[in-house]
């Protein structure tokens, strides 16, 4: 089957865009990911960096990746139940190992677990409209749970929002030391993440996957609509998303990133804006594809998208080595950390372009496919006895 290069490009943009936020999670304490005033104060440079990223990037590229993951589930339906279950189970194992032994910010396990539930919903959906509407409803339920958590959270500032000196020193210690101490802490974070997945985030993740599957089934993510449609839709949706998110950004700044409001309640507008901007970004890529498809850079980003899993893991390997092995953790502010991003992007691009000159798949993708084929075949053999 011929590859959809535009879809590869959008997937590459998602993988590269995720790093714009993840670089903060690599280079600063866990509390800094959502709270720019995590150390009790904030510089104007850091505040503006946070605000711009919050408006354009935060949640958006993770949401875009979830949308494309759902589109992938739709495309995999032709391979059957055994293949899909084996593929997602192996991804869950990989995500578990990634979260436990390399980096606590893993998304693979969450995507795999939710995918194991969602693929049946995709398969059994009667039509595109019901599939998309179910996804939208699930997403809104997740945002509703977030608001509920905000209302019952209390007013006392949580140590995960503004950690004290002892907590910061300990986090630095186990990230530098590694070994059993690091694995133990990552296991605790993984447990918390799984609880959050079941209680709240999983609803949103499932919703985006179903919407992505619906857009693929309708032909929208295959580029089957007019260029004018994609351009107008993209501009409109991005504008709507920004209008929803911008007041919450201003409010958080005015409130000094107060825990009660900013850890939960004022996160909701950002979450609501994300699907609009996510689909808008994808629409703009499709709408302007004839103008950009001849660019070498666009071709290189499409290569990154073809090797999305390998490149996601490569980012973790490069960044954990940089910040935890070369003593760079907590040495840079939010703005300065962004200077590392183009260098890591370059590693992703060069690795992808060179690799795909000789092989059709990324290294991790190839292993994943071979193990999936083996597992699906073994399962089929057992059930046929």
pLDDT digits (tens, 9 = 90+) for 298-353: 999 999 999 999 999 999 999 999 999 999 999 999 999 999 999 999 999 999 99
Residues in contact with 270: Cβ distance below 8 Å, sequence separation at least 6, in sequence order: 54, 58, 59, 245, 248
SS3 223: coil
Task: Give CA torsion, residues 79, 302, 230, 202, to 10 deg.
Answer: 60
**Residues 64-68: what's their mean pLDDT?**
97
Give the mean pLDDT of 195-216.
Answer: 96
Query: How far apart (Å, rounded) are the C-alpha atoms in residues 313 and 321?
Result: 12
Which residues, 6+ apart, have CB-to-CB distance to 120 below 8 Å?
none
Lookup result for tokens 């998304």 = 107
User: Residue 229 — pLDDT band, cuts 50, 70, 90?
Assistant: very high
Residue 206 pLDDT > 60, yes or no? yes
Spatial CB neighbours of 279, under 8 Å, sequence gap ≥ 6: 67, 211, 215, 233, 237
As a whole number of angstroms, the distance between CA 181 and CA 163 comes to 19
Measured between alpha carbons, how far is 336 from 192 in angstroms, rounded to an integer?
29
pTM of the model: 0.94
Please provide the average confidence, as pLDDT, over all residues in the chain.
94
| Average pLDDT of the segment spanning 77-89 | 95
Lowest mean pLDDT among 40-54, 148-162, 173-187, 343-357: 148-162
Backbone angles phi, psi at 224, to 5 degrees: -90, 5
Question: What is the CA angle 147-140-104, rounded to 5?
Answer: 70
**151/6 Cα distance (integer angstroms):** 42
pLDDT of 159 above 90? no
């Amino acid at each position: 089957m011929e590859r959809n290069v535009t879809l590869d490009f959008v997937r590459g943009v998602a993988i590269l865009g995720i790093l714009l936020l993840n670089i903060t999670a690599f280079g600063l304490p866990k509390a800094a990911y959502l709270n720019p005033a995590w150390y009790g104060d904030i510089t104007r440079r850091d505040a503006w960096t946070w605000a711009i990223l919050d408006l354009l990037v935060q949640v958006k590229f993770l949401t875009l990746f979830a949308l494309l993951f759902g589109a992938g589930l739709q495309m995999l339906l032709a391979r059957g139940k055994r293949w899909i279950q084996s593929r997602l189970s192996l991804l869950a194992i990989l995500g578990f190992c990634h979260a436990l032994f390399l980096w606590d910010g893993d998304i693979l396990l969450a995507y795999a677990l939710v995918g194991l539930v969602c693929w049946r919903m995709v398969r059994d959906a009667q039509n595109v409209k019901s599939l998309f509407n179910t996804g939208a409803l699930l997403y809104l339920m997740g945002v509703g749970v977030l608001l509920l958590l905000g209302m019952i959270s209390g007013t006392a500032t949580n140590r995960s929002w503004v950690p004290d000196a002892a907590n910061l020193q300990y986090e630095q210690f186990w990230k530098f030391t590694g070994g059993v101490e690091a694995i133990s802490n990552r296991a605790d974070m993984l447990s918390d993440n799984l609880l959050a997945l079941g209680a709240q985030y999983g609803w949103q993740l499932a919703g985006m996957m179903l919407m992505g599957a619906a857009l693929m089934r309708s032909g929208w993510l295959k580029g089957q609509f007019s260029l004018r449609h994609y351009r107008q839709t993209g501009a409109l949706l991005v504008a709507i998303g920004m209008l929803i998110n911008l007041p919450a950004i201003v409010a958080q700044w005015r409130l000094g990133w107060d825990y009660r409001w900013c850890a939960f309640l004022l996160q909701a507008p950002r979450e609501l804006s994300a699907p609009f901007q996510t689909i808008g970004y994808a629409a703009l890529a499709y709408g302007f594809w004839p103008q950009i498809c001849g660019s070498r850079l666009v071709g290189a980003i499409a290569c990154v998208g073809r090797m999305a899993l390998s490149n996601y893991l490569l980012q973790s390997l490069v960044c954990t080595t940089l910040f935890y092995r070369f003593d760079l953790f907590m040495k840079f502010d939010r703005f300065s950390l962004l200077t590392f991003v183009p260098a890591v992007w370059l590693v992703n691009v060069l690795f992808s372009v060179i690799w795909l000159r000789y092989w059709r798949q990324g290294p991790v993708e190839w292993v994943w496919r071979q193990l999936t084929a083996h597992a699906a075949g073994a399962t089929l053999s057992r059930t046929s006895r």
